[in-house]
Each structure stands twice: as C-alpha cells, then as structure tokens.
Amino acid sequence: MAIAVFFFFAALAIVGGVGVVTFHQPIRSVLSLVVVMLSLSVMFLLLSAQFVFAVQIIVYAGAVMVLFLFVIALLGPARELGRGRLRFQTSLSILFVLALFGLMYALIQGIQYRQPEHADLSFFGTVQSIAVGLFTTYLYPFELTSILLLVAAIGAIYLSRKRIDDL
Amino acid sequence: MSTLSIGGQQLDASWFLLLSAILFVLGAVGVLVRRNPLVILISIELMLNAANLALVTFSRQLQNIEGQLFALMSMTVAAAEAVVGLAILVDIFRARDVEDVDDLSELRG
C-alpha cells in the first residue's frame, strides 16, 4: 500500500512539476504547483513528518499559493508571447540542467547511509518532538525567524505603498 | 541501510531523494527557460519544496528531528521570499508592462 501511494503521488508531483514549467498561462503554473505541494505533503506523511505535512498544506498550499493567485488576479493574465532575445538559452540550460541531474543521481547512488540514531517512530515527527527541538536547542534560530518575517512584512508594505508623486 | 519501513513495507530512501532531484531539476529548468517573472518565482518555490523533501527524507532515515526543523525554517524563508518577491513584482508591473525579465536588464528606474 505504501509503495503504491508513493508511486502514485510521485508521478502526480512530476506531472505537476512539468506543468509548472510548460504551461503558458501563469495561473495554470500556480495550480500545477499546488498539485506538486499536495503530493509532497503526502510524501511528508509517508516519511512520518506529520507536523511538516500540516504546515505544508496550511502555509504553502494555503497561504503562499493564494498570495500568488492574488498577484495574478491583480496583474491580469500575462501570457508569454513569441520568443525572447536569448534563444540559445533554452537548449543550453536544458543541457546544463541534465548534467546537474546526472550529478545528483550519481550522488544519490553513492550515499553511505548511517544507522538511525533512535529506533522509536511513535514519537518521531509529532508536534511534541518538533516543539522540543524548536524551543530548546533551536530557540535562537526560531526567534530569528520571527525577525525575518517582520522584516519581510515591513518590506512588502513599503514596496506596495502608494508613491507620493502618484497622488 | 537505505530502506525505510513504512506501513509494513520497505521503501528505499533513494526513491524519495530521486523524486526530490527530479523536482529540483524541473524548477531549475523553469527558472532558466521561462521569461515571465511570476513563473520564475513559482519555479523557485518548486526548487525549495524539492529541497524540503530531501531534508525530511534524511531526517526520517537518521530518525533525527533536526531535518524537519530545518525544513520548517526553509518554509518560513520561502514564505518571506515569496512576499518580498511578489511585492517587488507588483511595484515593477505598476510602473510598466513587463512580459520578459530581459526587459528589466537596465539598472535605471
């Protein structure tokens, strides 16, 4: 069952990823990315990362993607028409990216896996275990993230304000 | 030992890593090939998601929660990046109609 679920959602994620790259209308790219994110959330569940699964659906598929949809609705449907100035770029970048994939494939085949540190999966990935890590060892980075979010919010407000000379 | 016992069945950790690599590569193609700035941002999100999958896979393989914590951090950074990137994009689109990121190659306002 787990293997069937893995392959179904892996195929769905890859189809969605191809859709992100190939659709001409940005709104279809965004909806394909939602498909990828939901498939990846199932992967997180398979890897017993329940909290990451929930955050993936709420924050990513929920908030971030709705933000993208809002911006597309604001800017109107912009299609990619014709071809750009850098035509050689397409084939060249696909070549380089295939080389990158070959490199990553070789790396994945050559990984020396270590033995697991603990063997208890009943506790692993729960909200409690996440919280223990987040509020003890990694309290400092966690607090710094809140500053990052504050800076991002202020930056977004500053960038999207009305200019004085526009009024 | 790369097999993970999930729901009574043995799944190989490298399958998850391979899926992560495929999605990362697709995102890289999107960033390099597409010319709409919005689609480039979407492709970056795809690459970040692929990296998250690799982090969570290693976290599960080592049974070490730190990989998941890092995945959560990277989600936060991705959200901040999306907010600021989209705000810049809206600002640019307000000033002029951009179809191609190459239209933005000059450094003047």
- Residue contact B42–A26, C-beta within 8 A: yes
Residue A38 has a CB neighbour count (10 Å cut-off) of 17
Which residues of chain B are within 8 Å of residue A26 when distances are taken between CB atoms?
A: 36, 38-39, 42
Residue spans per domain, chain B: 10-102
Query: What local confidence, expressed as pLDDT, does residue B31 receive?
Result: 92
> Domain residues for A160?
126-167
The CATH class given to the B10-102 domain equals mainly alpha
Last residue of a domain, one of A45, A79, A113: A79
Cα B106 to Cα B109: distance, rounded to the nearest angstrom: 8
Name the more confident of B47 and A91.
B47
Tell me: the pLDDT tens digits for A63-103? 999 999 998 888 876 666 666 666 777 888 889 999 999 99
Annotate B42-80 with b (16+ C-beta within 10 A) or e (fewer). bbbbbbbbbbbbbbbbbbbbbbbbebbbbbbbbbbebbb
Residue A44 maps to a domain: yes
Query: Which positions ≥6 away from A45 have C-beta within 8 Å?
Result: A53
- Residue contact B43–A21, C-beta within 8 A: yes
Cα A109 to Cα B24: distance, rounded to the nearest angstrom: 17
Same-domain check for residues A132 and A73: no
Same-domain check for residues A72 and A143: no
Query: What local confidence, expressed as pLDDT, does residue A17 receive?
Result: 95
- Residue contact A78–B38, C-beta within 8 A: yes
Which of 15-54 (B) contact A at CB < 8 A?
Answer: 15-19, 21-30, 32-36, 38-39, 41-43, 45-46, 49, 52-53
Count: domains in chain A: 2
- Please give the single-letter amino acid code of residue A31: L
Residue A1 maps to a domain: yes
Tell me: the pLDDT tens digits for B60-72? 988 888 999 999 9
pTM: 0.90
pLDDT at A117 over 70: no
Query: Which of B11, B13, B18 faces A2 most closely, judged by CB atoms?
Result: B11
Same-domain check for residues A75 and A131: no
Residue A23 maps to a domain: yes
Residue A114 maps to a domain: no
Which value does ipTM take for this structure?
0.89
Query: What local confidence, expressed as pLDDT, does residue A75 receive?
Result: 81
